[in-house]
Amino acid sequence: MQHEIHPLSDTPLRQQMLANVACFEGIKDEVFNELIGMATAHFAVPIALISILESRRQWFWAQAGMECTQTPLIDSFCATAVAADGFFQVTDAVVDSRFRDNPLVLGNPGIRFYAGYPLVTSEGLTLGMFCIIDTKPRPGLTTEQQNILKQLARIVMLRIRDLRESSYVDGSIGLYNRIKFEKDVEAYRHRGEPVTVIAADMISPTFLNEIVKSLGYPFAAKVMLLLKDKLKRIIGERDLYKISPTRFGFMIPGAGEIEKLIGLLSAEIEQPIECSGIPLQPRAGLGMLRLTPGDWHEDWLRCLVSSADHARNTGKGWVYFEPELDRAQMRAFTLLTSLSKAVERDDQFYLEYQPKVEAASGRLCGVEALLRWRHPELGLISPGEFIPLAEKTPLIRKISAWVARRALEQLADWKAQGFEWQVSINVSAADMADSTFVDQLIGLLREKTIEPHLLEVELTESALITNPELTRVNLERVRDCGIRLAIDDFGTGYSNWTYLRMLPATTVKLDQSFMRDACRDTKDRAVVTSIIQLAQTIGYQVVAEGVETAELYELLKAWGCDQIQGYYVARPMLPNLLVAWAQSR
């Protein structure tokens, strides 16, 4: 005997369909109300229902005569009726062994008569039932009556189809939307066919926003229409979808002529367009992803969008989805979410301290606090990786606050042990863009009664360029309260001496890149010696970092460099090791 699949089996397709109509639950539909009214009048019944059957319950899209809007599936007549695969009726429930103990028969509303017709989609999926109910037993419906019930059910299905389709359309541009794109792509998977999906980023979201701000919404809408027409001309009869405000999508089934089409597209979409006489340069990017039933990405839409974004940002025109790149983005995402937790606690972050010595005497004169992060699963993560990520978010402010507090606690601790070492902390551009961080530093120094000159903040030269005016105001506050200021990675930025001369800095740290070749390359050597001289003339103290050899140490000493930091002197260390190191010298 062959087992039929029960009409209510939770196949992915049925689930998708139910999820699709679920968004209409609770929204009254006038057409349905009319149909229910017709049914109660025509059949002279107190109850009529449009029932949608989910895996555990039925809910009523429209109804007359019932007090509730849903019932558990187990009590539902419709759940039994649906298995009949066509017209179903019970003339007197009280004498029917399947129903006589049913709470809807024994209690409210006291069902005796039931007749229904299933609601079946064009794909052959059963969504629920259209039914009429009486509280008195009745003779069965005539064939003619059955046909009327069948027609009512059919009208319901046509209406559901229209409702669903209207939720698939982006009316502003006259294209199918993202939901429909997802549905149509998933259909390939259900049919077991390969498909290549393509996302076309036509302009950057920021650019669209600029257009809206300066020229208004109607103009922006017109621009998107022009871009749509352009795409349509190239992709021909294929369906085009609007999948985000600036992004379109389409697909090429099987092993279609992909390369040729993409070549055409990428040449075309970069051409300037003209909208109401204003020329505009699209900055487009095409992302592509090949999906086969055996190699289907669950999150294909995310992958697709991220590759289109990548194509646009890098100016590459078009790229296939690259798992490598995606892994990097996923890692960045994981790190950022874990970072927000790490900064709230004390068991993942810690500081190491790297000594700085006076070049002439070799005496320890200060330490630089360097942040370390031990991720519970990923292990030790370099600040070179997570700091630039954090700097793109407000998290960096919390991280800097954590570092400042911990470094000053350590400083106070060492002071209590009789070591008066200056501690430098690294800060980011964002920390200096408003007064909160400087307030925090001043507060901490007071709280721990630490002389401000024992604290130094290191800020990279490039940070000064981002927001020069605000940064300068805050840096002046730093100077005025006696905290020292070092310019980190000196020599990598613009080195605008006129500007630097006005900065309230006390120290410059020569970038490590100079050190690498300074021993051999005469040009590098000339740059290093003249920067040292120039910086000292302006009144800066000069620190060389990244010094790894005795030879370089001696050269820097001869060139008059004030302080030296680097592996040759010592690597960054935990606080107790640093004390042992200092005492052993």
517 forms part of the interface with ligand C2E (CB under 6 A): no
Stretch that binds ligand C2E, among 88-96, 292-300, 323-331, 540-548 (CB under 6 A): 540-548
- Asked if 423 contacts 454 with a C-beta cutoff of 8 angstroms, the reply is yes
User: From the list 104, 338, 546, 564, which residue makes contact with ligand C2E (rule: CB under 6 A)?
Assistant: 546
Which 442-461 positions form the footprint of Ca ion (CB under 5 A)?
A: 458
Tell me the C-alpha distance between 171 and 337, whole Å: 37
Residue 226 identity (one-letter amino acid)? L
Minimal distance, residue 547 CB to ligand C2E, in Å: 6
Residues across the chain:
585
Minimal distance, residue 382 CB to ligand C2E, in Å: 5
456 forms part of the interface with ligand C2E (CB under 6 A): no
Cβ proximity to ligand C2E: between 134 and 456 the closer is: 456
Minimal distance, residue 470 CB to ligand C2E, in Å: 18
Stretch that binds Ca ion, among 249-257, 268-276, 398-406, 421-429 (CB under 5 A): 421-429
User: From the list 270, 409, 517, 548, which residue makes contact with ligand C2E (rule: CB under 6 A)?
Assistant: 548
First to last CA, the chain: 90
User: CA separation (Å) from 470 to 175, 196, 430, 435, 474?
Assistant: 47, 50, 10, 9, 7
Stretch that binds ligand C2E, among 162-170, 242-250, 322-330, 379-387 (CB under 6 A): 379-387
431 forms part of the interface with Ca ion (CB under 5 A): no
What is the pattern of x (binds Ca ion, CB under 5 A) and - over residues 372-411?
----------------------------------------
- Asked if 287 contacts 309 with a C-beta cutoff of 8 angstroms, the reply is yes
User: From the list 13, 94, 157, 387, which residue makes contact with ligand C2E (rule: CB under 6 A)?
Assistant: 387
Stretch that binds ligand C2E, among 81-89, 122-130, 147-155, 539-547 (CB under 6 A): 539-547
Contacts of 63 (CB under 8 A, 6+ apart): 36, 47, 48, 49, 50, 69
567 forms part of the interface with ligand C2E (CB under 6 A): yes
Tokens of 481: 């309260």
- Report the side by side order of strands in the sheet with 70-72: 70-72, 57-64, 47-53, 126-134, 113-120, 88-90
Where would I find the H helices in 417-549? 436-447, 461-466, 468-480, 497-502, 512-518, 522-538
Cβ proximity to Ca ion: between 118 and 491 the closer is: 491
350 forms part of the interface with ligand C2E (CB under 6 A): no
- Asked if 518 contacts 555 with a C-beta cutoff of 8 angstroms, the reply is yes
Contacts of 429 (CB under 8 A, 6+ apart): 391, 459, 460, 462, 463, 464, 466, 467, 471
Minimal distance, residue 223 CB to Ca ion, in Å: 45
- Asked if 155 contacts 62 with a C-beta cutoff of 8 angstroms, the reply is no
Q: Are strands 484-490 and 455-460 parallel, antiparallel or unpaired?
A: parallel
Minimal distance, residue 458 CB to Ca ion, in Å: 4
Cβ proximity to ligand C2E: between 81 and 552 the closer is: 552
Question: Which residue's beta carbon is nearest to the bound Ca ion?
Answer: 458
Stretch that binds ligand C2E, among 144-152, 204-212, 339-347, 542-550 (CB under 6 A): 542-550
Asked whether the CA dihedral 475, 476, 479, 483 is positive or negative, the reply is negative
309 binding partner (options Ca ion, ligand C2E, none; Cβ < 5 to 8 Å by kind): none
What is the number of other CB atoms lying within 10 angstroms of the CB of residue 89?
20
54 binding partner (options ligand C2E, Ca ion, none; Cβ < 5 to 8 Å by kind): none
339 forms part of the interface with ligand C2E (CB under 6 A): no
Count of residues that interact with ligand C2E, criterion CB under 6 A: 22
Stretch that binds Ca ion, among 312-320, 438-446, 447-455, 489-497 (CB under 5 A): 489-497
354 forms part of the interface with ligand C2E (CB under 6 A): yes
What is the pattern of x (binds ligand C2E, CB under 6 A) and - over residues 168-207?
----------------------------------------
User: Nearest 5 degrees, angle CA 494-CA 567-CA 414?
Assistant: 95
382 binding partner (options ligand C2E, Ca ion, none; Cβ < 5 to 8 Å by kind): ligand C2E
Whole-angstrom Cα Rg for the chain: 36
577 forms part of the interface with ligand C2E (CB under 6 A): no
Minimal distance, residue 550 CB to Ca ion, in Å: 21
Residue 276's region, left for phi above 0, alpha for psi from -120 to 50, else beta, is left
User: From the list 382, 435, 466, 513, which residue makes contact with ligand C2E (rule: CB under 6 A)?
Assistant: 382
488 forms part of the interface with ligand C2E (CB under 6 A): yes
Q: Which of 440, 356, 447, 449 is nearest to 402 (CA)?
A: 440
Tell me the C-alpha distance between 304 and 287, whole Å: 6
- Asked if 311 contacts 287 with a C-beta cutoff of 8 angstroms, the reply is yes
148 binding partner (options Ca ion, ligand C2E, none; Cβ < 5 to 8 Å by kind): none
Residue 86's region, left for phi above 0, alpha for psi from -120 to 50, else beta, is left
Tell me the C-alpha distance between 455 and 408, whole Å: 8
Q: Which of 199, 70, 211, 61 is nearest to 130 (CA)?
A: 61
Which 391-450 positions form the footprint of ligand C2E (CB under 6 A)?
A: 400, 403, 426-428
Minimal distance, residue 565 CB to Ca ion, in Å: 9
Query: Cα-flanking dihedrals φ and ψ of residue 457, to 5°?
Result: -110, 140
Minimal distance, residue 439 CB to ligand C2E, in Å: 18
Minimal distance, residue 483 CB to ligand C2E, in Å: 16
Cβ proximity to ligand C2E: between 246 and 460 the closer is: 460
Minimal distance, residue 425 CB to ligand C2E, in Å: 6
User: CA separation (Å) from 184 to 10, 196, 250, 408, 453?
Assistant: 20, 12, 10, 59, 66
Question: Where do contacts with ligand C2E occur on this chain (CB under 6 A)?
Answer: 354, 370-371, 382-384, 387, 400, 403, 426-428, 458, 488-489, 545-548, 566-567, 572
Question: Where do contacts with Ca ion occur on this chain (CB under 5 A)?
Answer: 426, 458, 488-489
